[in-house]
Amino acid sequence: MSSRNVDVRFITLFLDSFQAVFAQVFDCDVHKGPVTVMGRLNRDRGIAVLAGVSGVHHSGTVVFWMKDHTARKMLEYLDPTATEFHETLYEGLGEVINIVSGNAIQHLSRNGIELAITTPSLVVGESLEIHLLNQNTYSITMLSALGEIDIDIAIKRI
């Protein structure tokens, strides 16, 4: 799988943004695992949050994968009084991913790359499989006290 269409700044900025947001919002350190190149995305994580990215010269998707217990820990930290997890959990996850994505997009904008992000979408289920067609996908596992979150970044120049 060729990486010629991928700008490393996208990967770096999304990971740095993720670490900064988790430090600020959840008061926890996040450590990066190794970066791998993947084709088909197949995870046994239970929850996937997708954010589309588009601009004049770039297009793609960023997918954040996590297990249900990681998502619940995040929500419990944000709202210790929460008793109903489904809608509140999904809205909270979408907002956190929106902040992460928005932060990365702002940094890119400062470097002359204008992009827009879509409202995050959530997919919930066991053994999820997502196909990002015609995309090089870079996968990184982020490790934190809340649990593991895999980030798959597939943004290409068009």
Q: Which two tokens stand for residue 64?
A: 């954040």
> pLDDT digit of tens for each residue in the chain (158 aa)?
444 466 677 888 889 999 999 999 999 999 998 888 876 566 677 899 999 999 998 888 999 999 988 988 888 888 887 766 667 778 888 899 999 999 989 988 888 888 999 999 998 888 777 877 777 788 899 999 999 999 999 888 88
* Four-way CATH pick for 8-157: 3.40.1550.10, 3.30.1370.60, 2.30.30.40, 1.10.357.140: 3.40.1550.10
The amino acid that residue 73 corresponds to is K
The CA distance from 96 to 80, in Å, is 16
- 86 three-state secondary structure: helix
Q: Summarize the chain as % helix, strand, coil (round to 5).
A: 35, 35, 30
Q: How far is CA 125 from CA 32, 46, 68, 98, 114, in A?
A: 25, 5, 10, 21, 34
> In the chain, what are the domain boundaries?
8-157
